[in-house]
Amino acid sequence: MAGSTLVLPSAERRTYSPWRETWRRYRRHKLAVVSVVLLLVLVAAVVLGPFLWRVGINEIDFNARLEGPSLAHPFGTDDLGQDILARMIYGGRISLAVGLAAMLVSVIVGTLIGALAGMSRGALGHALMWLTDLFLSLPQLPLLLLLIYLFRDGLKAVFGPEGGIFILIVVVIGGLRWMPVARLVRAQFLSLREKEFVEAARALGASRTRQVVRHILPNAIGPVIIAGTIDVAAAIIAESTLSFLGLGFPPDTPTWGRLLYDAKDYLDIAAHWALFPGGAIFIAVVAINFIGDGLRDALDARKVI
């Protein structure tokens, strides 16, 4: 194939910059493109929502308890007559922020450990991989619950009820999800560090740090981006699960999971209360997963599309 392109440089097959090429390949995945739009709408709604929908999240109105969707309350009201749309906008900010922040934690930790394990040729690499396997066999949700249970009060005292729980949840979710990233990065490093271009860099006298940062890491970043995308979805689910079990954010912080937790005892009379936040979690997660799928197609250069 390479030979034929040399002989016949076809006019249609132009070369693009890497990012443009990625976008060209990404566009082929229709559902992934739709998902980007959906996610952007969702993000815009939670970021700009409070400026457009000026109903307080704690405005109690006992005359409008458990009402279904109406013009005054597009998503209905809960058992205290609070507006569910306003609460979902507020909660969405937290849910999405937790997802992003936990992803950053897991990607940074995973890349660091994977890179160390991939570059070391001795006991350190083995030890780090043993640690990774150990973390992979930890039961995540029980441990997550245990950590929250044990450290909740301490952090609450230091950083305040919302800030403390936010830090705890982000660190714990991220700290229990770095293993796939570490494995991916290590596998990439092991093959990349033997490649000719790295050898060339080494021959030119590039330091170890420069080899890693300038030459190896940029080539290993594709799978990390994909894993990171999926991690956002997983972190959103993890946070909602905690809130749904009543062990996440404090009761007056209406994250999407918390809204479901409050709604689950009123399913027979106020189904809308559960359906809207549940639907929001589902849309966010499915959109992020499809984006990850599209990125997989776009960033895997071996795949011909």
Partner 1 sequence: MGQYILRRLLIAVPSLLGISLVLFIVLALAPGDPFSELATNPNVPPEVGLALRAKFGLDDPIYLRYLHWLVAMAQGDWGFSFVSRINVDTLILQRLPTTLYVIGSAQVLALLIAIPVGVYAATRPYSIFDQIANALAFIGFSLPTFFTGILFILVFSVTLDWLPFVYSTDIKATGIKWVGEQIRQAIMPVMVLGLFQAASMTRFVRSAMLDVIRLDYVTTARSKGIGQTRVIVKHVMRNAMIPVVTLVALQLPAVFGGAIVTEQIFRIPGIGSLLISSILANDTPVVMAVTFVFACLVVLFNLVADVLYGWLDPRIALR
CB of 75 to partner 1, least distance (A): 16
Name residue, tokens 């066999």.
137
Please state at what angle helix 123-136 crosses helix 179-192, rounded to 10 degrees.
150
76 lies in the site for partner 1, by CB under 8 A: no
Residue 110 near residue 185, CB atoms below 8 Å: yes
Query: Residues 96 to 135: which contact partner 1 by CB under 8 A?
Result: 130, 133-134
CB of 100 to partner 1, least distance (A): 18
Work out the burial of residue 233: count CB atoms within 10 Å of its CB; fewer than 13 is exposed, 13-18 middle, 19 or more buried.
buried
Amino acid at 108: I
Total number of residues that touch partner 1 (CB under 8 A) = 45
Q: Which residue lies nearer to partner 1 by CB, 216 or 227?
A: 227
Going by C-alpha positions, the residue among 278, 287, 282 that lies closest to residue 244 is 278
Out of 43, 104, 145, 187, point to the residue binding partner 1 (CB under 8 A).
145
CA distances, 23 to each of 17, 36, 100, 192, 297 (Å):
10, 12, 22, 24, 11
9 lies in the site for partner 1, by CB under 8 A: no
In this structure, the dihedral spanned by the alpha carbons of residues 116, 216, 174 and 284, taken in order and rounded to 10 degrees, is -170
Out of 37, 40, 150, 213, point to the residue binding partner 1 (CB under 8 A).
150
Query: Residues 191 to 250: which contact partner 1 by CB under 8 A?
Result: 233, 237, 240-241, 244-247
Going by C-alpha positions, the residue among 107, 171, 104 that lies closest to residue 143 is 171
Residue 222 near residue 300, CB atoms below 8 Å: yes
Out of 37, 40, 138, 301, point to the residue binding partner 1 (CB under 8 A).
138
Amino acid at 271: A
Among 1-9, 47-55, 117-125, 148-156, which window interacts with partner 1 (CB under 8 A)?
148-156
Interface pattern 258-277 for partner 1 (x via CB under 8 A): --x--xx--xx--x--xx--
CA pair distance 34, 45, nearest whole angstrom? 17
140 lies in the site for partner 1, by CB under 8 A: yes
Among 62-70, 83-91, 160-168, 281-289, which window interacts with partner 1 (CB under 8 A)?
281-289
Kindly list the residues in this chain that would bind partner 1 in the complex (CB under 8 A): 31, 130, 133-134, 136-143, 145-147, 149-151, 153-154, 233, 237, 240-241, 244-247, 257, 260, 263-264, 267-268, 271, 274-275, 278, 281-282, 285-286, 289-290, 293
